[in-house]
Amino acid sequence: MEKTVPVIERLKREEKDILIFTHENPDGDGIGSMIALYLFLKKLGKNVTMAMKDDVPYVYNFLPHVNEIKKLPINHKFSVAILVDAAHRKRAGTEIQAHELIRIDHHVGGEFESIYDCVDDYSPSTTALVAELLRTWDESLVDKDIATCLYTGLITDTGSFKYNNTTSKTFEIAKFLTEKGADPHYISKMIFERNKVNVLLLLQKTLSTLQLYDNGQIAVLTVFREFLNETNTTEEDTEGFVNFARSIESVKVAVIMIQREDLKTWRVSLRGKGEVDVQEIAKYFGGGGHKDAAGCRIIGEYEKVKESLIEKISESVNRKVEVMR
Ligand SMILES: [Mn+2]
């Protein structure tokens, strides 16, 4: 893919230190992209470090070489830093020091900063872009560990090939990675079948908050801080909960509001089903994402925050109906 060529040429030239980093609250796509790129560049003898602000979430602790991920911030200025799976370096949640920035991402709304931006918002995942990049560079260096990391991001960002970002190209990349040693059964088992009982208890409490609006077109779930305390779980354990709200037949937009430690900030995740562009809604509240999956942060009192969200979502849902008529 031609978009990857300037990045490859730039990295080939790099003889000093390279940092690879991803966004805070990292997911399978961010971590998978980061480790895959790290392993590949290491094989080429590059001086490379991978780092992020948060710990590796439990579900991704099976990935190869996770223990080599360093903690951000790092008090050192790198020659070049590669941001994966985020539109802006601010998404790292902490300061990054580097002379030059490369971006590999598939989010909508980032600004192009240089020719070293490998951004394609049609790509199902950042790992799909990284797979293309590594294939273009030197396919023979893609081994089982690298393929495992890339396959992980591909299935987590496509909901195991269920979301509308899944195309024949997605399966083509999955085929390539499987041929390189990624084991689909093993990876799915590690990600989706290692739930802790506490997480199910948290899910139970969260589902009890379900509220429907606009004739069942909008579903809202809430994770109050006390739920996390009572079940001895963390915010990262709520990953995927919003999909239960989305799975309701009548629902067009599903929302989960997660109360942060300060009790007044709400981390909001929005999920669509192809009809309503939830990225637009998130953008209104200062966030971003994709058409079917987006997020934002809102500060305020619970009922008021919820009300303003419902109002905005309701506008989009009803506008859609009008257009369809
Ligand atoms: Mn992603």
Question: What span, in angstroms and rounded, lies between the C-alpha atoms of 107 and 294?
Answer: 10
Question: What span, in angstroms and rounded, lies between the C-alpha atoms of 31 and 127?
Answer: 9
pLDDT for the residue numbered 322: 58
Question: What span, in angstroms and rounded, lies between the C-alpha atoms of 261 and 110?
Answer: 28
Q: Could you tell me the residue ranges of all domains in the chain?
A: 2-192, 197-324
Centre of ligand 1 to C-alpha 151, Å, is 12
Question: Quick one: average pLDDT of 303-320?
Answer: 94
Centre of ligand 1 to C-alpha 209, Å, is 28
Identify whether the C-beta of residue 49 lies closer than 8 Å to the C-beta of residue 20.
yes
- The full DSSP string for 55-76 is PPPGGGTTSTTGGGPEESP-SS
Centre of ligand 1 to C-alpha 301, Å, is 30
Centre of ligand 1 to C-alpha 215, Å, is 32
pLDDT in tens, 180-220: 999 999 999 999 999 899 999 999 999 999 999 999 999 99
Give the side-chain half-sphere CA count within 13 A for 275: 20
Centre of ligand 1 to C-alpha 89, Å, is 15
pLDDT in tens, 285-296: 999 888 899 999
Q: Going by CATH, does the domain composed of 2-192 fall within 1.10.10.10?
A: no
% of the chain at pLDDT higher than 90:
85
Question: What span, in angstroms and rounded, lies between the C-alpha atoms of 129 and 135?
Answer: 10
pLDDT in tens, 11-58: 999 999 999 999 998 999 999 999 999 999 999 999 999 999 999 999
In the CATH hierarchy, which top-level class contains the domain 197-324?
alpha beta
Q: What is the pTM of this model?
A: 0.86
Q: Which of 243, 159, 192, 244 is nearest to 59 (CA)?
A: 192
Does the pLDDT of residue 325 top 50, yes or no?
no
pLDDT for the residue numbered 320: 62
Centre of ligand 1 to C-alpha 109, Å, is 14
Question: What span, in angstroms and rounded, lies between the C-alpha atoms of 305 and 266?
Answer: 8
Centre of ligand 1 to C-alpha 125, Å, is 5
Centre of ligand 1 to C-alpha 92, Å, is 14
Centre of ligand 1 to C-alpha 60, Å, is 14
Question: What span, in angstroms and rounded, lies between the C-alpha atoms of 124 and 280?
Answer: 19
Burial code (b: 16+ CB inside 10 Å, e: under 16) for 142-157 equals: beebbbbbbbbbbbbb
